Amino acid sequence: MTAKLQKAMKLRWTVLCMLFGQTLTGCATEPIGNKQLLDFLQDGKTSREEVILHLAEPRATFEGGRIVTYRLDEDTGGYVIQRANGHGWSGKFSLVLSFDEHGVLRRHSLVRVKEVLLH
């Protein structure tokens, strides 16, 4: 085997091991939630831009963007934003944010979502 081929194979194994390690890390049961995730929300002060910077794009928008919602779940670490695919999370909460005409948070509510049992 040439030195160049040995180097390429070593690089492949290194990459493969890194990917395998990341996969195992993703399967860990460590809490990923954040107890302070929503602490930045202050009615009358927080801007729509601050919300998007902290929580990303909302799950749904209503009334021309004046009302937005996020789906959240919770683990022992705190709240977790449920992304669009939501794999592995049940979305136990709906965060509803209402903004005024200037894009300032008027009111926010965290509502437990009723679980629906399908038969």
94 burial level (CB within 10 Å; 0-12, 13-18, 19+)? middle
Separation in Å, CA 11 to CA 14, 20, 76, 88? 5, 14, 38, 33
Does 1 or 100 have the greater pLDDT score? 100
* Sequence ranges of the domains in the chain: 1-30, 48-112
What is the pLDDT, as a whole number, of residue 29? 63
The answer to whether the CB of 101 falls within 8 A of the CB of 108 is no
Q: How confident is the model at residue 102 (pLDDT cuts 50, 70, 90)?
A: very high
Q: In this structure, what DSSP letter does residue 63 have?
A: G
Residue type, 61: T
Separation in Å, CA 46 to CA 62, 80, 102, 112? 19, 20, 11, 23
The two structure tokens encoding residue 25 = 């890390």
Q: What is the tens place of the pLDDT at every residue in 30-71?
A: 778 999 999 999 999 999 999 999 999 999 999 999 999 999
